[in-house]
A and B are shown apart, each in its own frame.
Chain A
Amino acid sequence: MFIGIDLGSRTIKLAVVEEGKMMASAIAESGFDPASQALAMLAPYGRPRRLVATGYGRHLARQHFADGVITEIKAHALGVRHHFPECRCIVDVGGQDAKVIALDASGRVSNFQMNDKCAAGTGRFLEIMALTLGFSLSEFGGAALAAGGETVLNSMCTVFAESEVISLKNQGMPADRIARGVHLAVINRLAAMLGRLGCDGTLAFTGGVAKNPAMVALLGERLGEGIRLLVPDAPDLAGALGAALEAARSAEAR
């Protein structure tokens, strides 16, 4: 048994792999003490042959319990190739960052880009805008999809965008249209990052934000005919799965 654990900024994800298959998984809030939280999540599984950590808190995990660490970039690459063995391009949008990753034919990372040091274009951005508009996170995507039109959001800075959203609301713009505008703003940002990487063929969409139906539909629309957008089962677990696969791989190499 091998375990991968992804200590993200908002949530901790865990994947258990046996004989190359994911046998179990878990997700919990990171909380104030992510190391203890992670240990509590690991408790039911007993000691794995090897445990690899990834994500923002990977070094913390190594100090406490992990046998090895890999970056989120490599973890997502491994996780995605497990689902889609031919895929050459990944967009991962999590709580506090967004990245695009290009792979070579053998699945190795050949190039990557991350968002700047602010929340623009991340899950956190969507969350704050949903809150400002009075939607729950689960309603937010649905509302954006159902909207009869859209509005353009000019700012990507979370603080400025928030005041822009409020002033649009006060001008009487329907909330669902603004919601759609918010989603499109994030998508424009991702498309620009993808453009820099030069991506074609298939594109896998991972991270918690890939569970938002509007993000998937609107990103697919934006990419157009040339690119097929794939979303793995449990897209938010792709990093943890990749870490577990790395645990198996590195145990074998020993």
Chain B
Amino acid sequence: MSAENFTVRPYPEMWAALDMDVPRFDKARQMLGEVYGKMFLGQVNRPDRMAYFDEMIAEIFGRRVEELLAAKKEGKPVVGTFCVYIPEEIVVAAGGICVGLCGGSQGSVPDAEKVLPRNICPMVKSAYGFKAGRICPYFQAVDFVYGETTCDAKKKTWELLDRLVPTHVMEIPQMKRARDKTLWLEEVRDFKAKVEEVCHTSISANELAGAIRVINDKRRALQRLTALRAASPAPISGKDALLIEQIAFYDEPVRFAREVNLLCDELDERIGNGVGVVPASAPRVMVSGVPMALPNWKVHNLVETAGAVVVGEESCIGSRYFKDLIDESHTAMEAQLEALTDRYMQIDCSCFTPNDERVDQVLKEYRASGAQGLLHYSLQFCHTYNIEEIKIREACEKEGIPYLAIESDYSPEDVGQLQTRVEAFLEQIRG
């Protein structure tokens, strides 16, 4: 497949059956194909094993959606989520599918702005707009969505989203004390009950243990990928690695982990032969901050177009999703649910206070990645990340780490200015 003839394949009949706005969605499909072809297939010296992930994008609106619909037909739950705090293990234990529905596209923002205020996070607007405009097959296919109470923009939007698709909300506490864990565990039980209600069965401890292993394996594969990116020259581009982290949110987990591991085998070989996607002299940048949902490749594209390489994402679509595993040693349901909750409580999202673990985690990942500069990325109007940025900046200053903070939305209008800032940052790193 070359950059010019890459297409995202159309499935108009299936889309019509899903009550989508087919003509409009078909335009979005074509655009995605063009952008993807240009941004991804034009990269030099890509690993061969990226072919699977290219295919996942080519079939993003087709084959994977068919799999969702097939699962539904069998009475399996298909659940949409917006946050890495919702435990997908429980859906997988019920034989179901969990998909991340975060929005990373400017295209659906105008749909949202017909209803929602303009000055809220673009990710929330984009996600809501996908449903309001009926331009996301995943949103159309899910049985229900499970939101959470992390940030204000999200929790208040769920009330409105519920009018368009059944929306349940998990209360995520804002602190991490013992009493918060008690609450959280109750919320996890409610989630399990909701999932069981859809599939009319109850999840057994055995099934949960299996699901925990499956998702742990997926997270381990992503950990392995991250560790390999520390090599110099970088064996894979940041854009490709981010893409894989994004696909982790909708692909079938066993197949996905297998493909990531196959890719990692190839990267191992590349590293052994000193093969990279950029020269060893290219500046290495780590990105930290908010999630970058498909197809938000803005920051990575800017950095890599300027000749540098991104070597890690401290983000929910990134390490925050896979750095922690669930203890697999428990066999009784109660103990499993507790172990699961413990794992989820380790996620260091800025919605929590205090959240100083995140500062330590950023520094730890920075050192492990062999990066030479840290780029903090916040979405516009995301108060928690924008404010926590101050602590990350202070820590970088203290450690003498070159640092750049970007606050942006999905619109292309600031790209020129951001390009200048990113290039100046790379000049700073190059010295």
Contact = CB atoms under 8 A, between A and B. Distances in A.
A114 B423 CA distance: 13
Interface in A49-83: 56, 70-74
A108 interface: yes
Contact of A74 (B413, B416, B417, B424): B424
Q: Which secondary structure characterizes the binding site on chain B?
A: helix
Contacts of A108: 428, 431
B427 interface: yes
B420 A109 contact: no
B420 A71 contact: yes
A114 B421 contact: yes
A110 B413 contact: no
A109 B416 contact: no
A74 B414 contact: no
B420 A110 contact: no
Interface residues of B, number: 11
Contacts of A110: 428
Interface in A103-120: 108-110, 112, 114, 117
Contacts of A117: 413-414, 417
A73 B420 CA distance: 8
Interface in A85-140: 97, 108-110, 112, 114, 117
A73 B417 contact: no
Nearest to A56: B416
Contact of B417 (A70, A97, A109): A97
Contacts of B420: 56, 71-73, 114
A112 B424 contact: yes
A71 to B, nearest CB: 4
Contacts of B423: 71
A112 B421 CA distance: 9
Nearest to A55: B420
B414 to A, nearest CB: 4
18 contacts: A56-B416, A56-B420, A70-B427, A71-B424, A72-B420, A73-B420, A74-B427, A97-B417, A108-B431, A109-B427, A109-B428, A110-B428, A112-B424, A114-B417, A114-B420, A114-B421, A117-B413, A117-B417
- Which 9 A-B pairs have CB atoms at the shortest separation, nearest pair first? A73-B424, A71-B424, A117-B414, A71-B423, A74-B427, A109-B428, A71-B420, A117-B417, A112-B424
